[in-house]
Structure 1
Amino acid sequence: MQVDELEYVSFWARVGASLIDTILLGVIIWPILTALYGESYWSSQKMLQGPMDFIMSWLFPAVAVIIFWLTKQATPGKMAISAKVVDARTGQSLTTGQSIGRYLSYFLAGLPLGLGILWVAFDRRKQGWHDKLAGTVVVRQKNRHPEPVTFER
C-alpha cells in the first residue's frame, strides 16, 4: 500500500477499538475468574486472588495482544476499524521487541492521569506516548469505502 493512501488513525477511532478489545477480553476472562474464585472475586480488595488471577488478568491479555500485533498488525478492535500498528520509520510490521515495549509503555502512558494516552488527540501523527516510546504509528487506508454514496432521483 502506498504511503499517500494511508492516514493516521484518530483518537476517537482508537478509543472505539480499545473498547472492542476490552469487551472481547472481558467476555473471555470474566467468566473464567468468576468460575475459579466465585462472585466474591469482584468485591475483593486484594490485588491478586491467586495464580490464575495473575495469568488471566495480566499474562493472557499481554500475550494475546502481542501475538495479534505480530501476526495481524492489529488487535480485533483495530481490525474492526481497519487499522494497523506499524513501525513509525518504515511502515513495516513491528518487531517482537517493539511489541513488548509498546505493551509495557501503555502502563507508563496511563500513569499521569492518562495523559500519555490522551496525547493521541493532540499529536500530529496521532501517537500516544506508548507509540513514541516503541517507535510505532497506527494507520489505515484513506477513503476505505469502495464507492461514494449516491441516490437515485
Structure 2
Amino acid sequence: MRYLTYRPANNVKRTIAYLIDTVPIQMGLYLVSHAYFGVSPIIDRTSPPAVQEAALQARLLIGLGTVGIWIIYCTLAELSPMQGTYGKVAMGIRVRPVQGTKLTIGQVLGRNAAKILSFAPCCLGFYFAFFTNGNRAWHDSLSGTAVSDHR
C-alpha cells in the first residue's frame, strides 16, 4: 500500500478557496457585460427576444471569461512562492508536487490546462477529488500535483 507523503487539503477548504478566487472575477465580468450589452445577464423569460439574446450573450461572456481569467490567474499564482491563489493562501492550503519539492513550470501549465478537462463533463473532474485517496481532482492526477494543508 502506498502512503501519502502530504496531508491532503480538505475539500471544503478547496471549495471555499475557489469561491474566494472566482466570485470577484464573476462580479467584475458582470459589470463589464452589463455595460457592454446594456442588459442584466439575469433576465426573465417574459422579456423580448432581443433582450433575452443579449442576456444569453452576457452570461456566456461571464462564464467563459471567468474560466479563462481564473486559469491564467491560477497559473501565475501557483508559479509564485505562495504556490497557490489568494483563496488557497487564505484557507491555508497550497499546490505541491506529489513527488519532489518544487513545482515545475510544466506541472503548473499542465495542471491548469487540464482544468478544462475537469470542467468538460459537468465538472466531474472536480467532484472526483471527493472520492479519491489524497483528494486529487483529475487535473491534479494528470499533472502529478496535489493540494495539501500548509498550516
What one-letter code is carried by the residue in structure 2 that aligns with 1:82?
G
2:113 equivalent to 1:101: no
- Give the TM-score normalised by the residue count of structure 2: 0.73
Show the counterpart of 1:151: none
Contact 1:10 1:120 in 2 (8 A): no
Fraction of identical pairs, as percent: 27
Q: 1:87 aligns with which of 57, 80, 97?
A: 97
2:76 & 2:112 partners in 1: Cα distance? 11
Alignment CA distance shift 1:91-1:127 (3 Å): farther
Of residues 95-104 and 53-62 in structure 1, the stretch that sits farther from structure 2 once superposed is: 53-62
1:110 & 1:48 partners in 2: Cα distance? 15
Task: Give 1:63 shift.
Answer: 2.0
Alignment CA distance shift 1:35-1:95 (3 Å): farther
Q: CA RMSD for the aligned pairs? A: 2.8
The runs of 5 or more residues in structure 1 that have no matched partner are 145-153
Q: Secondary structure at the match of 1:139?
A: strand
2:19 equivalent to 1:19: yes
Contact 2:30 2:41 in 1 (8 A): no
Task: Give 1:45 shift.
Answer: 4.5
2:124 equivalent to 1:115: yes
Contact 2:29 2:66 in 1 (8 A): yes
Alignment CA distance shift 1:127-1:58 (3 Å): closer
- Give the TM-score normalised by the residue count of structure 1: 0.72
Contact 1:33 1:56 in 2 (8 A): no
1:54 & 1:12 partners in 2: Cα distance? 23
How many aligned residue pairs are there? 135
Q: Secondary structure at the match of 1:7?
A: coil
What one-letter code is carried by the residue in structure 2 that aligns with 1:37?
F
Q: Cα deviations across residues 24-74 of structure 1 (Å, max 9, x unaligned)?
A: 21233322232233226661258866xxx8995454333222111111211
1:120 & 1:98 partners in 2: Cα distance? 18
